Structure 1
Amino acid sequence: MRFAASYSTAFNGTDPDRLIAFAQHAENLGFEALYVQDHIALYPGADYGAGALPPTLPYFDPLDCLSFVAAATQRIVLGTGVLLLPYRHPVVLAKRLATVDVLSGGRMRLLTVGLGALPGEAAAMGVDFRSRGRRADEAIDVLRLLWSGGADGVSHHGEFFAFDNLCSYPKPHETTTLPIHIGGSSAAAAQRAGRRGNGYFAGGMLAEHGRDRQLELARQTATDAGRDPADIEYTRWGSADMSLEHVEELAEHGVDRIVVGFAAADPARQHDQMSEFGARFDLSPTDSAIDHGHP
């Protein structure tokens, strides 16, 4: 089992020193990765189904945040949980992701994308809320096309994006693609993971049998698409107080990675929570040096 730490500005604020101290402590303890969340803009009454989000909650741009973290760390893998893909143009995003990956020495390897659940956020970005699934599918294809293209350029003519003979450089570090994980709790998210994802990050409030059905749907969709379902990594959320028995149960359900939030308001207490977790699961600094060079 691999463990990652989630840094949320909703709990921790926007102090850059606190962010870097958190990331360095996670790396030193042996957490595989650091995940950050994403919202472009909020508004009064924004509700994603689990309650209203205060409109003043601060969200860093995830890629700017991760590039800042990369400059102050050596091994920890960089992840998003999740980046709202329909609201980014894939030509710009391909460049930004490759840039972070090159500058970090190949650590931008846990990109997880999702659709977003706030209609007002979609409207502000000029995106038809009903189209965001199709837009995300096409954006994934465009990202991979641009990363794999050579000096002659690549062309694409789709529902949302079109270009001819386009070259996107630099490429990701020592590869021509980056892994793209799919986040979400819907059947559509599971199917998207099966068709296009290198991983599935299950969210939502589903019971365990519901999550099992989603994972099976992702794997069956992969098989139907001619892909190897064993290549799809399975990531889940966890808690700072989770037990060894709970982790063993998740492993039995096929989970490969657990992303853990540490919500103590006091930085020192938060670091103690991380240290206690690391000791409970016998983490080692070498755990954060896992090879993520494969797609």
Structure 2
Amino acid sequence: MKFAVTYNGALFGADPDRIIAYAQHAEKCGFEGLFLPERLVLSPGMKLHNNDVSLTLPFLDPVDTLAFVAAATERLLLGTGVLLLPYRHPVVLAKQLATIDVLSNGRLRLLAVGLGVVPQDASATGVDFRTRGRRADEAIDVLRLLWAGGEEGVSFHGEHFSFDDLVQFPKPYKATTLPLHIGGSSRAAARRAGLRGDGYFAGGALDPQEREAQWRTARATAEEAGRDPDRLEYTRWSSIDLTDDDLATFAAQGVTRLVVGASAQDPSEQHDQLTRFADRFMA
């Protein structure tokens, strides 16, 4: 089992020293990587996970913040949980992500992308909310095409993106692509993971039967597409208060990575929580 951490600026603030201290401590503890969430816009009356939300919460841009964290760490892998792919142009995003990967010596390797469920994100960026799934599928194809393309250029003609003979460098560090995990909590997301993803980052509050059904869907879809289902990684959220029984249950479900986050507000106690978790499960 691999273990990574998340930092949510909306909960813990956008103080740069605090973010770096958290990331560096996670690295010292031996965690695999750091995941950052994305929330594009807020609006009056909006609810997140059925809860009222303060409109002044400082949701950090994950791509920019990962570049910041990369400069202050040495080993920690960098990830998103999840990046709202339909609302970013893939040609621009391909350049941004490859740049961070190169400057971090190949550490931007935990990218998870999803569709998002907030219609305001779509309207604010001029995207048709109903077509965001097809747009995301094309964006994944464009990202991989640009990363793999050579000096002869690559072309793409789809419903949402179209170009001819584009050349884009730098490439990802010593690679022709970056791993892309699909985040979500639906059968459609699971199918997308099987067809296009390197793994499934399952979210949502689902019962065990639906969890199992979605993972089966991801694996079956991969196999039907001629891909090796055993190469799919399975990432899940977990509590910092994980128990041995919880860990055994996750392992039995085929989970290969757990992402946890400190729950305390005080930075020192957050670090202590990460230390205790690492001592128990990663020693």
Q: Same fold (TM over 0.5)?
A: yes
CA-atom RMSD, angstroms? Answer: 0.9
TM-score of the aligned structures, taking structure 1 as reference length: 0.94
1:1-295 aligned within 5 A: 1-283=1-283
SS, match of residue 241 in structure 1: coil
Structure 1, 36-45 or 107-116: larger mean CA deviation: 36-45
Partners of 1:109 and 1:178 within 8 A in 2: yes
**By how many angstroms is 1:50 displaced?**
3.1
Q: CA–CA distance in 2 between the matches of 1:42 and 1:96?
A: 24
**By how many angstroms is 1:52 displaced?**
3.5
Partners of 2:10 and 2:60 within 8 A in 1: no
Partners of 1:48 and 1:117 within 8 A in 2: no
Q: CA–CA distance in 2 between the matches of 1:41 and 1:88?
A: 13
**By how many angstroms is 1:59 displaced?**
1.1
Tell me: higher relative CO, structure 1 or 2? Use CA pairs within 8 A at least 6 residues apart.
Answer: 1
Partners of 2:39 and 2:59 within 8 A in 1: yes
Structure 2 spans left out of the alignment, 5+ residues: none
Any idea what the Cα deviations from partners look like across 1:263-287, whole Å, max 9, x if unmatched? 211001111111111111134xxxx
Q: CA–CA distance in 2 between the matches of 1:208 and 1:110?
A: 25
Q: CA–CA distance in 1 between the matches of 2:100 and 2:150?
A: 20
Q: CA–CA distance in 1 between the matches of 2:167 and 2:46?
A: 38
Q: 1:137 is matched by which residue type in structure 2?
A: D
Count residues in correspondence. Answer: 283
Q: 2:265 is matched by which residue type in structure 1?
A: A
Partners of 2:240 and 2:261 within 8 A in 1: yes
Q: CA–CA distance in 1 between the matches of 2:122 and 2:208?
A: 31
Q: 1:74 is matched by which residue type in structure 2?
A: E
**By how many angstroms is 1:40 displaced?**
1.8
TM-score of the aligned structures, taking structure 2 as reference length: 0.98
**By how many angstroms is 1:15 displaced?**
0.4
**By how many angstroms is 1:18 displaced?**
0.3
Q: 1:100 is matched by which residue type in structure 2?
A: I
Instruction: Calculate percent identity across the aligned residue pairs.
Output: 60
Q: CA–CA distance in 1 between the matches of 2:128 and 2:58?
A: 25
Q: CA–CA distance in 2 between the matches of 1:262 and 1:70?
A: 20
Structure 1 spans left out of the alignment, 5+ residues: 284-295
Q: 1:187 is matched by which residue type in structure 2?
A: R
Q: 2:46 is matched by which residue type in structure 1?
A: A
**By how many angstroms is 1:92 displaced?**
0.1
Any idea what the Cα deviations from partners look like across 1:109-162, whole Å, max 9, x if unmatched? 010000011101110000011010000000000000000100010000100001
SS, match of residue 152 in structure 1: coil
